[in-house]
Structure 1
Amino acid sequence: MTDSKKKRMSMLDSLATAGTPPAAGSMMSSNRALRSARDAVDAHHVWELDPAEIQDERYSERLDPRDVHDLRASIEQNGQTVPILVRRHPAETNRYLLVYGRRRLEAIRASDRVSKVRALIANLDDTAALRAQVSENTGRRELSYIERALFAQELLDSGFGSQAQIAEVLNVTRSSVSMSISVAKAVGPALAHAIGPAHGVGRPRWEALAKELSDTGIDQDELCQVALDVRTKAAATEQKDEEPRADPSVSAFEAVARHMKKSAARAGGTRPRPKTKALVIDGKTAGAIKKSSRALRLDLTDVDEAFAEWLDARAQDVLQELHDRWRRET
C-alpha cells in the first residue's frame, strides 16, 4: 500500500482523536463506528462536491449552532483541511446525504470564495450513518447534556428503536437514556430551545430543574420568556462589541432556575404537594406513582430488566388498553 493511500485511509481515524478524549469505553466504540465509516468510503478518495448537491436530513443534535463566520474565514484563508462525510442519496442521482460536517458545509455554502466542499463518500445505511454522526460528535465532546437528552428523545419519538437500541447507538447505559428522555420530556423542546445548550450545566442540575417543573406545574411560557430575555440582552452586548461575561445559555438556565425559586417563595408553600403512592409487584416495592395537578408520573425503579424491556416495547399498547378500560368502566 502506498504512503498516499495509507494517508487517505487513516483520514477518518484521525477524526476520532480530535479534541479532548472521552473515556476508554466510549473511545473504543467511537473508533469502531468511525472505522466502519472509513471502510465504507468509496476508494478512500476525497471528492470535491457542489454544496447544493448535499442534503442534511439527519436527526438534529444542537440547540444553538454557533455562527460559522470564523470557520468560513479560516477555510477561505487556509482551505478545508478536514473533509466532511456524505453518503449517496438512495433515490436521486448525483445527490448526497450529509453524515457529519454540518458546520463546514454551512461555512462553504456561505462563502463567495470557496465553491466546492471536500468530502468522503461512504456506502452507509441509516443506522451506520447515525452511529458515525454520533461517534464523530461525541469524540469532539460538543454536545451538552440537554442536547444529548433531546437527541435521544427525538430518536425514540421518530421510531428509530427502543431505549435499549438507542443506548447502544449512543454508547451509554439504558438507565441513562431513560433518565435523559424523562428530563427532555419534563423540560420540553420550547423551554430547552429558549435556554440553549448550556454547556457546563450537567445532569444533576437539569434533573433538579425537571423535577421542579413536574412538582410545581409552573407556566413554561413564562420561563421561556425569562430565558429569551437573558439571551436577547447577551446578543445586544455582542453587537456593541463587548465581551459577554458568561455563556448566554448558561445565564439563561440560571435565570430560569432563580425565577422558579422566586415563584415558589411567592406562592408561600400553598401549592398542593403531589400525591405519591407506592407501586408493588409480587409483594415487593417496584416504584411509585405521583399525581400532581398537571401530571401523572410513573417511576419504576426496582423491576426486573427483562420486564422493563417488555414494558418499554409495549408501553403504548398497554396505555391504550388501560384507557379503553377506563372508558368502558366510566
Structure 2
Amino acid sequence: MSKSKSIRDLMARRVPEAAPEAAPPTESTASPPLSGDNAPPAARRAGAARSFGAMWQEREQARVVADAERDGAIVELDPDLCDPSAIADRVPDSTDAAFDAFVEQIREEGQRSPALVRPKPGAPGRYEIAYGRRRRRAAQLLGRPLRAIVRALSDTELLIAQGSENLARADLSYIERAHFAHNMMQAGVARDVIAKAMGTQNSNLSSYLAVAEGIPGPALATIGPAPGVGRPRWLTLADRIKAATGEQVEAALASPDLAGKTSDERFAVVLAALNAAPPPKRKPKAETVKDAKGLKFARVERSAVGVRVTTDEASVPGFGDYLAERLPELLAAYRQSKG
C-alpha cells in the first residue's frame, strides 16, 4: 500500500477474514514510560497462567471474527504509522532464523491473523501496537499493509492484551517474560496490573523481577532471548555477574567465541567465561646474588608479604648462620639509618 493513500480510505475498506490462528510472536525494542493509566475493566481469570492466556486468546479471536462480520473491524494500515507499545516484551535477536521463515509464510499465504492496535494517545493518525509487532515488521519488509483491528484501549487494557498473548505463545523465553515484567515495573505500572498482564501471582512476579534485575542490559543484548534457558541457569549467570569484576564481565561479553553462535550458545559461552578460574598469580622471579668474583652465594625472593633470602651452603658454608646471628645488628643499623 502506498503511503500516500489516506488512513481514512484504508479504514473504510472491508477486508475478508481468514480462519483465526494462534498469533505469531511479537518483537520489541525500547521501553519508554507509559502515559497515565485508566481504571482496568473487570476480568475473569483462570487459576493457571497458561489457562488464563489461552482463554483470553480464544475470546479475543472470537470477538475478532464477530467484529469483522458486523462492521469490518479488520482494516489495512500503513505499517509505518504503527508504533510499538511502550513496554518491550521481546529481546531482539539478530540470529532469529524463525523470523525469516515467518516472512516467507506471509509472502506466500498472506497475513492470516490480524494485529491489535489502538489509536496512539497524543499522536493523531498514528497507532500503537498491543500485539503483532513481528507482523508489522514483516509487512514493512514486504511492502504490504498491516491487517489489524483498531480498538480504543486504556493503558491497562493494552498491557493485559499484550501480556495475555505472551502467555499463549510457547516460544516466549523465560528471560523475555522476566524482561517484560521488569520493563513494566520500571515504567511505574502497579504490581497488581503487572501480575494480571503476566497471568501470575505476586510471589512468581518477584522471581521474574529478581532474575531481570540481576542481568544487566549489555549482557541481555549480547545473549538475546536464549529460548532454551530457564530460570535456574539465568540465576546462576546473575550470581556470576555479581561476583565478577566489571573487566571480567566486559571480557566475557566481548569473547570472539560468541561469533556465529545462536542465542542459547551465546548464553553458554558467557556463563563458561565467567566461571573460569582466575589465572594463577605468577611468582616473582628470584634474584641471584653474586660476590665480586661472580660466585653465587644467595637467592632473594620478594612477595607481597615479605622477602626470603636463601644462602648457598655449598658455595659459602656457614654464611647462613652468620647472617642469622647478625640480623638484630642489621635491624638496629637499618633503624638508625631511618633516624
Aligned partner of 2:260 in structure 1 is 233
Select 2:131's aligned residue among 77, 100, 118.
Answer: 100
Extract unaligned runs of 5+ from structure 1: 1-6, 235-247, 268-330
2:117–2:131: 8 Å Cα contact kept in structure 1? yes
Q: CA, structure 1 residues 249+169, in 2 after alignment: closer, same or farther (shift >3 Å)?
A: same
d(CA) in 2 for partners of 1:86, 1:53: 11
> What RMSD over aligned residues (CA atoms) do the two structures have, in Å?
3.2
Aligned partner of 2:140 in structure 1 is 109
d(CA) in 2 for partners of 1:186, 1:82: 36
1:28 is aligned to 2:59: no
1:72 is aligned to 2:79: no
Shift in Å, 1:32: 5.0
Deviations 1:247-305 (A, max 9, x none): x11111111221122135758xxxxxxxxxxxxxxxxxxxxxxxxxxxxxxxxxxxxxx
- TM-score (structure 2 length as normaliser): 0.61
Aligned partner of 2:10 in structure 1 is none
Shift in Å, 1:110: 0.9
AA in 2 matched with 1:130: L
Deviations 1:161-196 (A, max 9, x none): 23x442232012222221222222222111111111
Select 2:147's aligned residue among 118, 138, 143.
Answer: 118
User: 3-state SS of the aligned residue for 1:149?
Assistant: helix
Q: Aligned ranges for residues 65-214 of structure 1 at < 5 Å?
A: 65=93, 66=96, 68-112=99-143, 115-162=144-191, 164-214=192-242
Aligned partner of 2:22 in structure 1 is 15
- TM-score (structure 1 length as normaliser): 0.63
d(CA) in 2 for partners of 1:9, 1:131: 25
2:258–2:269: 8 Å Cα contact kept in structure 1? no
1:223 is aligned to 2:252: yes
Q: CA, structure 1 residues 110+202, in 2 after alignment: closer, same or farther (shift >3 Å)?
A: same
Between stretches 39-48 and 73-82, larger displacement belongs to 39-48
d(CA) in 2 for partners of 1:130, 1:9: 26
AA in 2 matched with 1:30: G
d(CA) in 1 for partners of 2:62, 2:123: 23
1:37–1:128: 8 Å Cα contact kept in structure 2? no
User: 3-state SS of the aligned residue for 2:48?
Assistant: helix
1:54 is aligned to 2:61: no
**What is the aligned residue count?**
238
d(CA) in 1 for partners of 2:85, 2:200: 24
User: 3-state SS of the aligned residue for 2:74?
Assistant: strand
* Higher Cα radius of gyration: 2
d(CA) in 1 for partners of 2:54, 2:119: 23
1:146–1:197: 8 Å Cα contact kept in structure 2? yes
Taking every aligned residue pair, what percent have the same amino acid on both sides? 29
Extract unaligned runs of 5+ from structure 2: 1-15, 26-45, 282-339
d(CA) in 2 for partners of 1:15, 1:101: 11
d(CA) in 2 for partners of 1:225, 1:145: 24
d(CA) in 2 for partners of 1:210, 1:102: 29
AA in 2 matched with 1:171: G
The structure where helix makes up a greater share of residues is 1
